[in-house]
Amino acid sequence: MRILLIGFGNVGRAFLQLMEEERRRFRSLGADPRIVGIVDRGGATLSENGVKAGSLLTIKMKTGSVAYSEQGGFPSMDAVEAIRVAQPHVTVEATPTSRGCSGPALTHILKALEHGSHVVSANKAPFAYDYDTVMRTALSRGRRVKYSATVGGGLPVLKTLRTLTVGDFVESFRGVLNATSNYILTLMEEGRSYEEALRLAREIGIAEADPTMDVSGMDTAYKITIIANTIEGGHRVDEVELKGIEDVEPKDLREAALNGYSIRLVGELTEEGKLRVGPSKLKRGSVLDVSGTLNAVEFRMKRAGPVYLLGRGAGPFETAAAIIRDIFEILEEEKR
């Protein structure tokens, strides 16, 4: 199985590491996965026999790009060219999620499908802006597109959703889906200001250097759009009514606590089909009232009633594990 990895940041590197560990499990399915190429901002490296992970990391650290590898490094090669040359069986899209549009990830995904490759993506943007285009292309090319890593990471939100919707119907859902903002709100409950909580979250690596996507609610908006698209398609993140946590003050949290509530950044699809993200009051002790870096999702099913999922939000390894699960699924589906 020839795999091309596009994007060599934290998720890409974690993916490479986990692939080494999971090699045996792949072989039990009769597959011999080989990462035949990696593309980053500086270019690409390609190797028919599979890239050498350890040495590539050193090269990346020293030169800033895998493209400077002495064996199979191509400094001017972009992802589209790498897809054409490598002819991968599966293309893993792990570039950073763009803001405001699908960005280059959409081109990568469409080109990969056109060249007959299945796609596994950790990049949210194409599934929040151009879901229908991606899925139509996949259908017309007879290829599969998986994107479990875009929502929840280690928490199997999309897989559970697909299982639930066989013979049932999602009436609405709500979720606390962003670990960073939830963590900041948890620290603020102790009286810390927003700025102080954000500083601590940054210092221990929970918040990114630029946390805008998280605290503005945009990351949650992407995720609920992807969930809504998985349910019925036809949604774009632009339609989400959006409010972040920047204006929440410790006194709001104190006041809520006195009345038996907590404040969490909640993303939801209402029964009327509206997508909304914003700070919401949740009854203390309710399932969605999670603290720290936990995520929680509630699906309200027409027949089964409420179904809950609870677990730790995504980090690079959780996201990489979700990518690997998607590759497994493709392999199993191909065998049927």
Partner 1 sequence: MIANLNLENTGLELKGLCEKLAEKASEGLLIIVEPREEIMRVLTEAAASRMSEEEALAKLAGELNGLAKGIPGDLRRSVEAELVESLNRIVEYLHAEKKAGGATPRGLPVMLNLLGNTVAKVVSSHFKALGIDAKWVTAGQAGFMLVEDYEPPWSHYVSLVNPDELKSVSKGVLIMSGRSCVDHEGSEASLKKGMGSVVSILAASELRIGEVYVPKANGGVYTADPWITDKARIVPSLSYSEALELSRLGEWVVSPQAVELAEELGVRIIVSSIQDPFKECTTIGFEKAVEKQIVKAVAMIPGMSILNVEGAAMAGTPGVASAILGEVAKRGVSVSMISQDASEIGITLLVKDKDLDMALKGLREGFSRQRLIKRIRIQKDVTVISAVGEGMRGTRGVAARIFTAVAEAGVNVLAIAQGSSETSISFAVSTEDAEKAVKAIHDKVILGV
Residue 274 a catalytic site member: no
Question: Shortest Cβ distance from residue 73 to partner 1 (Å)?
Answer: 17
How far apart (Å, rounded) are the C-alpha atoms in residues 146 and 277?
25
Position 273 contacts partner 1 (CB under 8 A): no
Smallest gap from Cβ 204 to partner 1, in A, equals: 3
CA dist 281 and 304 (Å) reads 25
Q: What does the alpha-carbon distance between residue 316 and residue 321 come to, in Å, rounded to a whole number? A: 9
Nearer to partner 1, 171 or 250 (CB): 250
In the list 117, 121, 186, 262, the residue contacting partner 1 (rule: CB under 8 A) is 186
Cβ atoms of 131 and 159 closer than 8 Å: no
One residue of 100, 260, 292, 306 binding partner 1 per CB under 8 A:
292
Pairing of strands 73-74, 90-93: unpaired
291 part of the interface to partner 1, by CB under 8 A: yes
Closest CA to 221 of 181, 276, 147: 276
Beta pairing partners, 241: 276
Q: Which stretch binds partner 1 (CB under 8 A): 13-21, 130-138, 156-164, 221-229?
A: 13-21
List 33's β-bridge partners, or say none: none
Among 49, 61, 166, 336, binds partner 1 (CB under 8 A): 61
First to last CA, the chain: 17
C-alpha 173/C-alpha 83 separation (Å) is: 37
Distance CA 3, CA 116 (A): 13
**Interacting residue with partner 1 among 40, 43, 45, 60 (CB under 8 A):** 60
- Residue 26's CB: how many other CB atoms inside 10 A? 17
Nearer to partner 1, 50 or 103 (CB): 50
- Rounded to whole angstroms, how far apart are CA atoms 284 and 201? 23
Interacting stretch for partner 1, rule CB under 8 A, among 31-39, 102-110, 148-156, 182-190?
182-190
* Distance from C-alpha of 261 to C-alpha of 130, rounded to nearest angstrom: 37
Considering only residues 20 through 59, tell me which ones interact with partner 1, judged by CB under 8 A. Answer: 20, 52-54, 57-58
| Lookup: tokens for 224 | 């609920």
Under the binding rule (CB under 8 A), the answer on residue 315 touching partner 1 is yes
Taking CB under 8 A as the rule, does residue 13 contact partner 1?
Answer: yes
CB of 294 to partner 1, least distance (A): 7
Q: Which of 60, 223, 281, 302 is catalytic?
A: 223
| Binds partner 1 by CB under 8 A, chosen from 250, 312, 328, 329 | 312
Q: Is 185 in the site for partner 1 (CB under 8 A)?
A: no
Q: Is 191 in the site for partner 1 (CB under 8 A)?
A: no
Angle at 167 between CA 166 and CA 172, to 5 degrees: 80
For partner 1, give the closer residue by CB, 126 or 315.
Answer: 315
Q: In this complex, which beta carbon is closest to partner 1, that of residue 36 or of residue 110? A: 36
Q: Is 204 in the site for partner 1 (CB under 8 A)?
A: yes
Sheet holding 34-40, edge to edge: 73-74, 43-46, 34-40, 2-6, 90-93, 118-121, 145-146
Rounded to the nearest whole angstrom, what is the least distance from the CB of residue 194 to partner 1 in the complex?
A: 15
Q: Which is nearer to partner 1, 172 or 291 (CB)?
A: 291
Q: Rounded to whole angstroms, what are the CA distances from 226 to 8, 67, 150, 167?
A: 23, 33, 8, 21
* Binding residues vs partner 1 (CB under 8 A): 13, 16-17, 20, 52-54, 57-58, 60-62, 183, 186-187, 200-201, 203-206, 291-294, 312, 315
Residues noted as catalytic: 223
